[in-house]
Amino acid sequence: MSIETLRICGIIILLAPFCGAVIAGGLGPIMLRGRSHWPAILGVAGAFAAAVVVFTQLYGHGTEELSAQIPVYQWIIDGAGSAFKVEFLIDPLTSVMLLTVTGVSLLVVIYSRDYMREHGKPERGYERFFAFLALFVFAMCALVLGGNFLLLYLGWEAVGLCSYLLIGFYYSRPAAAAAAKKAFLVNRVGDFGFGLGILLIYLSFGTLEYAAVFDMVQSGVLASGDPLTNGRVTTIALLLLCGACGKSAQLPLHVWLPDAMEGPSPVSALIHAATMVTAGVFMVARCGAIFTASSTAMAAVAAIGATTALFAATIALVQTDMKRILAYSTISQLGYMFLGVGVYAADSAIFHLFTHAFFKALLFLGAGSVMHAMGGIIDVRQFGGLRKLLPWTFVTFVVGSLALAGFPMLSGFFSKDEIIHHALVAHPLLGIIGLVTALLTAFYTFRMVFLAFFGDERVPEGVHPHESGGWMLFPLCVLSVGAIFAGYLGVEATGRGFHHFLTPVFETTFVAMNPAHAGSHEVAHPGFWEHYGLMILSGGLAIIGILVAYIIYVKRPWLSGLAKASAPDAYQTLWNKYYVDEFYDEALVEPARKTGRFCVGLDDYLIDGLIWLVTAVPRGIALVLRTMHNGAMQSYALSMTAGITIIVLLVFWS
Amino acid sequence: MAQILDMPLFNLADSWALTLVIFAPLVGMVLLWLPPPGDDKGIRRSALFASLVTLALTVLVVFQFYSFEPAVRQSRAYAFTCHVPWIAGTAGDSATIDIAYRLGVDGISIWLLALTAFLMPLAIWGSFSGIRTRVREYYSLMLLLEVGLLGVFCALDVLLFYVFFEFTLVPLFFLIGIWGGSERRRAANKFFIYTLAGSVLTFAGVVYLAYYSFTVLGTATLSIERLIQAAQAGHIAPAVQWWLFLAFAAGFAIKVPLFPVHTWLPLAHTEAPTAGSVILAGVLLKLGTYGFCRLSIPMLPNASFELAPVVAVLAVIGIIYAALAAWVQKDVKKLVAYSSVSHLGFCMLGLFSLKVIGVTGGVVYMINHGLSTGALFLIVGCIYERYHTRNIHEIGGLARQMPWMAFFLIFFTLSSVGLPGLNGFVGEFLVLLGTATSKATSDLRAAGPLGYGYVIPAATGIILSAVYMLWMCQRVLFGPLKEPANTPDTSTGLTKDLTRREISILVPIALACVFIGVYPKPMLDTFKVAIERNVLRDVLPAERVTAETSGLSIPADATQDTQSGEGSPAEPDDGVPAQPADPPRDSAVLASLTDLDTTGGPKHER
């Protein structure tokens, strides 16, 4: 592999989508209009091609040095002698992320060409949409490629910005505008911790460059030469985790993602399912050196992941908006990834990230196709039995659902199973939560499928459903293939190529620090049950979940009403998402606004009042003096007489 | 040395360059009286022309500064210095009073000079449609204001600084009082009295400083450079420093404005005409921070160090307090005004970290705030001219009506909330980094006064700034369209969306924001030397600083007085220790000051 090639590829990966964004945004309104998708498609395709080149450069190099820190130019000079550079870090992890991001992006951009049209005419803001989408690809690649924490932060904020702009794409809808703002602000809360973590890293290590920081963490010394305490590294890791929770919508910062579904469906597919929200997982994996140095932090990652996975899956059970169900399922699957990283199985987590990108993007695009056909309606209570009307969408959607549900031999099955396996090894409770969530996942996914595609054919008033065109079906088909076969990149039968490719990245961190490896718990020659027992169990759970959903929603539809009626409180709690939003409003937003009003009052009355008092002193003196100078001779004479009397008295007194 | 002195940088023409820049707008005022009365168009164009000429001159100065910057780095504190005795007295052959018209710029002030000259034509151009009455007077006052602002950033004499500093009040008082909103007279009065009250104390400090320098140095000097040297040599007693710091802070803190003396700002901003707000936020507030950075910190190092935590606490309170207050404002302009208070808190925090990183951040912050907040006020002005309201509840969904305006409002909002890649982030990051690392000794300086503890509350300001700015954007730009009756008002020749003129005003600012965000290196490069040499020279003693900035390789012993100077009170009669007596370093400094202090530098016997 040559550094020069990698540098050029990195620059292309960044600049191609960026130029696409600028051209689409700049020329779009003037001359491109309905063709504004071309700059975006070409830009993203260029980035994808460069990502493939990066991959071929890295692939097949065995265990030799596989990571390259590549400087580009000096960005911010801190004035004290050092500088923050724009630089890349390219290693297998980067490469996998780049392929996933640019690949899915390309498909989504192609899909959007038709999706963002009504009756063949581009929607209002067509060029804006593609400009933002390409800008997002640029930002996400910057996040992934960046070779130091400052660039990570840049990408981190920039993807947040694109997410903000795209959620608020239909800005005249108040809900969309509010959701956009909410997404940005909740992420800012996470970034608050993230930023503090980065500052603490600089404070501790005197640099923000990945390689240097990780080296110092692993050798356990600070820049000042003092030993790195466990408390400090834990603090750093937890602060970083705070940012990851914001971006990846983990508890307690998950509230923005379901609302983010106000954005157009391709945006939900790309940003809020396949790529941006996985940035948190990527970051924890990237900073493995820091996280694995603190067992507390790792436990926190695993705990947050497991809790979120279960928590979001329960909410998804009762929702009726297809995109929101998928949003909660995304949160839940991201929880799996966190769980994976937290139990030292970073390669499995990234594997799940990879397969998830396929099937979740597929599901969102499928939901988008449904929404397109239903004239913008996506609530499963308002339509049903669509399988005849939208055959292609139906088939691909079912493929995606099977993969999500963990149906045996599809991609989601393999990757999820790996995570559950590692979780069981780490702590039985984590593994059991993983299994329960798998069951719930299969159930709610197929509840959605059965409600939308099975039963009697029902469509909303005045809607003439039609299957989508080729621009939309092509990405669906490609993603379906991925959803079925992507998992085979990481199974024993194919030599676990995916994991081997990633191993060099995690060798010294997640692999070496794994407490499960430290004791020789590994069974030398696992028997059939050790090997396949879990697979059969989790596959079985998936099938059970699907069957239960089938019985409740297809065979015996009255059962669902019964369930709702038998536990109304539980149903209401789930329906209202555990009242987290309401809690935040009451506990944080309102008090802050009250404090703000209090501050304004303080300004207007206390501070200005004090100042009025100060200025009142000269005014008061003047007032007294003014009454004396009233020009009446009598009063002058009176005061003169009084004065003389006093003086005379005083003289006599003494 | 001779070589350096022979460079064209130091010829006579250059020593007048700054004077030319400062007074160019004054000359331009004459132009305004050429068009016949009633020819508003001619007057407006003359004013714009005058400010553009000033800008051109400034650009020349900046370029020349930049091309000679390495030379400046080598040996000199300031470029384009000029020195004309003003209030001078002699006894025998030694000067007893040394107050002079001293000008000069360094790596910090050059950028603030540029910012002023850059914003002024845009502000003037931006007033074309808004100002309909007393046009000639209006533009005359704008140009007069520019004179004062440019003067402050060039002054190297405390009295001259003070004169320019106070002078800016007068034109702005009239600008607010005559062309302002409905409560303009109250706002103008409050603004004037509030800031004047503070600067009266500053003036007392200036007078006392002159007197005190007479008692310890034998010369009543107000030369900033000589006072810094005196402070470095430990001639300014700590107790005196404390009083002087408080006196200076009285004027500067009100100008910044630092919590709790910020209450004049929201009112003044709300009532000022658009251009007034732009200049007020963009440049005038920086006079306060610049004063701290140019006078208080270098001349009063001990007091600055000891009082830094107090200032920092006030700054942090201000960051959060003003952000919360901004969030509940109904008036868009007031919201931006409160955001200024919050932002300037960051700036102060950076300056009082007393480390190069933090001060760099503080100075960058000054410039960034000038750009983005100035632009925000321009945009609010554009909205106001069309809808005659700034009430957030009366307008909404304007993105559909005014896509260009929406673009710029979001752009400058992002710049203001510190999105990486735009200018705001560079300042914010460096400020927080500087504050966090203030205590560290890794850059060979002694431990600074602040630490990580200040960063945590300050960083909440980052969340809050996003909260109120995005809240404002959401209300103004998004949602269903909401307009007051009979609007948008296009009777004055405005279009529904921004006119070409308005776009042309905002584009340069946006470009500057992007440039600073993506490639701030050229600017940051010049700060380092200026900050080490002219701001932090003796705040936190370190060998490295003296050695590097004085340019010549200096034997280690030459730095002794830097350390011995720490906190020791002045020794009155023992001949001003270590002044000209200490040969290598001082001769270097002296040589570099020859045209700054033609009276012969700090050679003075009583």
Q: Which of A92, A120, A147 is the last residue of a domain?
A: A147
Q: Which of A147, A162, A191 is the last residue of a domain?
A: A147
Which of A18, A77, A127, A202 to probe by mutation at the B interface, max B CB count within 10 Å?
Answer: A77
- Smallest CA-to-CA distance from B271 within B344, B325, B334 is with B334
Extract the tokens encoding A559: 């059962």
Q: For chain A, say whether B472 makes contact (Cβ under 8 Å).
A: no
Domain limits for position B432: 2-535
Q: What residues of chain B lie within 8 A of the CB of A202, using their CB?
A: 433, 436-437
User: Given pLDDT bands bounded at 50, 70 and 90, which one contains residue A80?
Assistant: low
In a domain? residue A638 = yes
Same domain, B416 and B433: yes
pLDDT at position B72, please? 57
pLDDT at position A526, please? 57
A458 SS3 class: strand
Please list the helix, strand and coil fractions of chain A in percent, rounded to the nearest 5, in that order.
Answer: 75, 5, 20
Q: What average pLDDT does this structure show over A343-362?
A: 90
Same domain, B461 and B549: no
In a domain? residue A517 = no
Q: What average pLDDT does this structure show over A610-630?
A: 80
Q: What average pLDDT does this structure show over A504-514?
A: 80
User: Given pLDDT bands bounded at 50, 70 and 90, which one contains residue A536?
Assistant: confident
- pLDDT of A385-394, one tens digit each? 888 888 888 9
Q: Strand pairing partners for B103?
A: B82, B155
- Give the residue, B541 or A217, on which the prediction is more confident: A217
pLDDT at position A517, please? 66
Q: Which of B478, B503, B535 is the last residue of a domain?
A: B535
In a domain? residue A630 = yes
What is the distance in angstroms between the Cα of A13 and the nearest Cα belonging to chain B? 17
pLDDT at position A272, please? 86
- Give the residue, A301 or B549, on which the prediction is more confident: A301
pLDDT at position B487, please? 73
Same domain, B486 and B562: no
Biggest distance spanned by C-alpha atoms of chain B: 80
pLDDT at position B76, please? 62
What is the distance in angstroms between the Cα of B260 and the nearest Cα belonging to chain A? 7
Q: What residues of chain B lie within 8 A of the CB of A74, using their CB?
A: 521
Q: What average pLDDT does this structure show over A164-173?
A: 88
Same domain, B158 and B303: yes
Q: What residues of chain A lie within 8 A of the CB of B524, using their CB?
A: 76-79
In a domain? residue A241 = no
Q: Which CA distances in Å does A354 have to A291, A475, B113?
A: 21, 17, 53
Q: Is A284 exposed, middle or buried (0-12, 13-18, 19+ CB in 10 A)?
A: buried
Residue ranges for chain B with pLDDT beneath 70: 1-14, 68-76, 91-93, 441-445, 539-606
Q: Which of A86, A115, A147 is the last residue of a domain?
A: A147
Distance CA(B147)–CA(B30), nearest Å, equals 14
Report the range of poorest mean pLDDT among A402-411, A464-473, B73-82, B390-399: B73-82
In a domain? residue A541 = no
Q: What is the pTM of this model?
A: 0.86
Same domain, B519 and B381: yes
- This complex has an ipTM of 0.85
Chain A stretch 575-634, residues whose beta carbon is closer than 8 A to a beta carbon of chain B: 592-593, 595-597, 599-600, 603-604, 607-608, 611, 615
Number of domains in chain A: 2
**Strand A68-77 versus strand A117-118 pairing type:** unpaired
Same domain, B550 and B482: no
User: Given pLDDT bands bounded at 50, 70 and 90, which one contains residue A37?
Assistant: confident
**What separation, in Å, do the N-terminal and C-terminal C-alpha atoms of chain B show?**
30
Number of domains in chain B: 2
Q: What residues of chain A lie within 8 A of the CB of B467, using their CB?
A: 185, 188, 592
Percent of chain A past pLDDT 70, that is, above it, reads: 95
- Smallest CA-to-CA distance from B297 within B229, B347, B243, B228 is with B228
pLDDT at position A82, please? 66
pLDDT at position B569, please? 38
Mean confidence (pLDDT) of chain A: 85
- pLDDT of A11-34, one tens digit each? 899 999 999 998 888 887 778 778
- Give the residue, A368 or B538, on which the prediction is more confident: A368
Q: Is A456 exposed, middle or buried (0-12, 13-18, 19+ CB in 10 A)?
A: exposed
In a domain? residue A93 = yes
B100 SS3 class: strand
pLDDT at position A61, please? 63
Q: For chain B, say whether A172 makes contact (Cβ under 8 Å).
A: yes
Same domain, B322 and B402: yes
Domain limits for position A93: 1-147
Give the CA count within 13 Å in the CB-facing half-sphere of B53: 17
Q: What residues of chain A lie within 8 A of the CB of B432, using their CB?
A: 195, 199
In a domain? residue A167 = no
pLDDT at position A207, please? 84
Same domain, B46 and B109: yes
Q: Check A200 against B436: CB less than 8 A apart.
A: yes
Chain B stretch 359-418, residues whose beta carbon is closer than 8 A to a beta carbon of chain A: 359-360, 397, 399-400, 410, 414
Same domain, B325 and B340: yes
In a domain? residue A326 = no
pLDDT at position A375, please? 81
pLDDT at position B205, please? 92
Other residues' Cβ atoms within 10 Å of the Cβ of residue A621: 10
Same domain, B436 and B422: yes
pLDDT at position B570, please? 37
